[in-house]
Amino acid sequence: MTAALTITPPDHPLVGRVTPPGSKSITNRALLLAGLAKGTSRLSGALKSKDTSLMAAALRQMGVVVEEPDETSFIVTGAGFLAAPKEPLHLGNAGTAVRFLTAAVALCDGIVIVDGDEAMRKRPIGPLVTALKSLGIAASAPTGCPPVLIEGRGHFGSGRVEIDGGLSSQYVSALLMAAPFGEGAIDVALTGKDLDARGYVDLTVAAMNAFGASVSAVDHTTWRVAPTKYRASDFAIEPDASAATYLWAAAVLTRGSIDLGVSMDAFTQPDAQAAKFIRMFPKMPAQIDGSQMQDAVPTLAVLAAFNDTPVRFVGIANLRVKECDRINALATELNRIQPGLAREDGDDLVVNADPQLMHAARRNARTRIETYADHRIAMSFALAGLRIGGITILDPDCVGKTYPGYWDALRTLGVESQPQA
């Protein structure tokens, strides 16, 4: 393991071709749906990372055959149901896997414990547990966070289930993906404020339909899911939009041109909305609503440090319950680069841009960036190292959660980095 990595600002624009990994969000959805389907599904363009490996391992514990013929494919053979695992499902800090499986294991016949690491045990799951209970499913999470104990009964009930999606759209997606195993049609309805990231639910519905589900919108806040179960399917996974944002930002920061093999406008994932603001650099607007592209906010926040004018990020309260409190982490580490560069204002993040940082390549000070075991903090602050001398990323291996090849991708573009003790 590498303790730290110091980035040398390149003296040239970054030019070349880099293929981003497959989408984590879509890969984990496809793995689960293929595991629930009866028959063999082939998933191409998939992400192989810590998070997707944890999902695959959990499915194997429940009797699903998951093969990995190459670096970007899974072959998944399911029996049309999940067997209760003999041991608890340990899912590290993989939020998508924990939330999706908390609902899916209700389809097992028996007691299942869904658990994570110390960080995951601080991330809320209570609203999803409450929703499961409303369907008659015995579920408990005494702390409001994992571990969760679910008494599966082989089906998902019927009727109407309500969920507040304001804290995480993954609660909604979890219920939707399990709903085709209902005894009758199930209506999944939102309560409270609007979804934190509706685009991710759109990804879920599209994937469900590809595996034979029937999902219809009753209105803007309710989906009706028919009891169709799933059928096996071959499924192509698009590149990860969140990963693409780092490369788009690297290109504009160095005035280069990086070909990802897919245009900015071709992505269906909500984080691709960040492309609009990256194109505007260094004239990014005074306010950016990050509610529908939350995983791209760290990229945009670091880019904003080099903008011509300050940028306020709003609609990002949910960033406080990601792998770390990302609002606090971004403010803290930007201020480590330059005191006063950022501040928290309630649940907003204000980045006080300093365009002179574009000319700080020869700065002698070494700035050690704490990454909080958060892959997105590590990858975003690496961008600062493209223009500022002495940026050192601590725990650089944490990028393996979603983009194991990130540092190699930068090296192929001519970015030099030195391991540090």
Report d(CA 34, CA 177) in Å as an integer: 11
Amino acid at 277: F
Q: What does the block give as tokens for 32?
A: 């689960």
Strand arrangement, sheet containing 416-420: 367-369, 391-394, 4-8, 416-420
Are the beta carbons of 274 and 73 closer than 8 angstroms? no
119: left (phi over 0), alpha (psi -120 to 50) or beta: alpha
Residue in the structure block whose two tokens are 């002698």:
364
Domain with CATH 3.65.10.10 in the chain: 4-21+239-420, 24-236
Active site residue 295: yes
Output the pLDDT for position 421.
74
- pLDDT in the model for residue 365: 83
Task: Domain 24-236: state its class.
Answer: alpha beta
Q: Which residue is catalytic, options 51, 164, 271, 295?
A: 295
Amino acid 168: pLDDT: 83
- In the numeric block, which tokens belong to residue 405? 């090849």
pLDDT (0 to 100) of residue 349: 98
Q: How far apart are CA 376 and CA 1, in angstroms?
A: 18
Q: Which CATH number fits domain 4-21+239-420: 3.40.50.740, 3.40.50.261, 3.40.250.10, 3.65.10.10?
A: 3.65.10.10
Tens digit of pLDDT at every position of the chain (421 positions): 789 999 999 999 999 999 999 999 999 999 999 999 999 999 999 999 999 999 999 999 999 999 999 999 999 999 999 999 999 999 999 999 999 999 999 999 999 999 999 999 999 999 999 999 999 999 999 999 999 999 999 989 889 999 987 778 899 999 999 999 999 999 999 987 666 678 899 999 999 999 999 999 999 889 999 999 999 999 999 999 999 999 999 999 999 999 999 999 899 999 999 999 999 999 999 999 999 999 999 999 999 999 999 999 999 999 999 999 999 999 999 999 999 999 999 999 999 999 999 999 988 788 999 999 999 999 999 999 999 999 999 999 999 999 999 999 999 999 999 998 7
pLDDT score recorded for residue 194: 65
Exposure string over 363-399, b if 16+ CB within 10 A, otherwise e: beeebebbbbbbbbbbbbbbbbbbbbbbbbbbbbbbb
Both tokens of 291, joined, read 């509610």
Contacts of residue 223, Cβ cutoff 8 Å, sequence gap at least 6: 176, 187, 188, 189, 205, 215, 216, 217
Peptide bond into 298 cis (omega under 30): no
> What's the confidence (pLDDT) of residue 252?
98
Q: How many CB atoms lie within 10 A of CB 419?
A: 10
Cβ atoms of 172 and 220 closer than 8 Å: no
Strands (E), 108-219: 109-115, 138-140, 148-153, 159-164, 186-191, 215-219
Work out the burial of residue 219: count CB atoms within 10 Å of its CB; fewer than 13 is exposed, 13-18 middle, 19 or more buried: exposed
How far apart (Å, rounded) are the C-alpha atoms in residues 208 and 230? 8
| β-strand partners of 288 | 313
